[in-house]
Amino acid sequence: MASYYAIAVLSMLAVSIAIGHALDEKTLSTTLYLKQSFTEEQRTLATDTVIINWVLKDGPNASANTLGHAEGLTTHADPAKNYWVTIMDMVFEGGRLAGSTLKVMGLHGSIHDSNDGHGQWSVMGGTGELTMARGIINYKIIQEDGASRTFELCIYVYYTSTQRI
């Protein structure tokens, strides 16, 4: 009989913990801009693989504030469609998210591809204020020429505040 009471108490405890953590979840919904310079913030590692350190800004113009960098790798996955697989950490160095990161992965093409420069990336983790982040980034390439490309990033993520950990 005592074991039934123990199971009931443990079940109620597990449910209350799960409900408590679900209520602690926060959301981030913001628009940022990623500037890819073909000659400056990246270097070739191997054929069709590039190490990136693209600039993350709060606006599309050159005068916009730099908030951090997207650091990682991009690989030419489908040369026929000009699609690249990109795996990066968005490292926030300024603004309210300074000291935080987002782990991001997905495909991107060019402004001239079949999606007209639109796409979506996965957010699969984060650190700092964005601990345990998960969500999506809808991107649109808003500028592209022979020297650079600018992505408009609409970021939608859920995360757990570091105050609860």
Give the model confidence (pLDDT) of 113-144 as tens digits: 767 888 999 999 999 999 999 999 999 999 99
> Is the per-residue pLDDT at 108 higher than 60?
yes
Answer whether residue 4 is part of any domain: no
Read off the pLDDT band of 23 (50, 70, 90). very low
Answer whether residue 86 is part of any domain: yes
Domain housing 112:
25-160
Answer whether residue 150 is part of any domain: yes
Distance of CA 139 to the CA centre of its chain: 11
Q: What percent of the chain has pLDDT over 90?
A: 60
CATH of the domain at 102: 2.40.480.10
Answer whether residue 110 is part of any domain: yes
pLDDT confidence of residue 46? 85
Q: For residues 97 and 75, is the Cβ–Cβ distance under 8 A?
A: no
Domain count, the chain: 1
Q: φ, ψ for residue 43 (rounded to 5)?
A: -145, 145
Read off the pLDDT band of 149 (50, 70, 90). very high
